[in-house]
Copies of this chain bind each other. A is one copy, B any other.
């Protein structure tokens, strides 16, 4: 129960990449963290992944945007294309970045960071299709299973999840 007492939000919308929500969700529960599944404002509570796994959110972004989390996780799939339109999701992300909380992002999740306007001068990785978007938002790109830039941990794809979560659990245990 390495992460007992830690509060972690996983951001959600339909067409999330199934493993990129379920792996961190189950993993943080395994470590004893208090994990909140946060859906887009005005939607939910049940979302479907790209492969059809469904998950029920605990709350929506408008209800928790003023809370502080020890960490937030932004999954990939097509969900980020929807989440980036929700100003409350973007506020949660901006607040976490401003407070230097651990922000984990994988795959297409980088789109949400681009729309939150928090990528200038940051170093990260992402799914190859959105490399141009994160660069145009001001980040430098590196092709690696895990890129660590201060509070920002990023990965490219589902098979990077072991590296991402190994480091995330370490970082949150030390915090």
Q: Which A residues are within 8 Å of any B CB, using their own CB? A: 18-19, 22-23, 26-27, 29-31, 49, 51-53, 158-159, 161-163, 165-166
Contact = CB atoms under 8 A, between A and B. Distances in A.
Nearest to A52: B51
State how many copies of this chain the complex holds. 2
A53 B18 contact: yes
B26 A161 contact: yes
Nearest to A28: B162
A147 B75 CA distance: 32
A18 B52 CA distance: 11
Contacts of A26: 19, 23, 158-159, 161-162, 165
Nearest to A29: B162
Given A23-B23, A27-B27, A51 B165 contact: no
A19 B161 contact: no
Contacts of A52: 51-52
Nearest to A159: B26
A51 B21 CA distance: 15
A25 to B, nearest CB: 9
Contacts of A166: 30-31
Nearest to A17: B53
B30 A165 contact: yes
A1 to B, nearest CB: 8
A161 B31 CA distance: 12
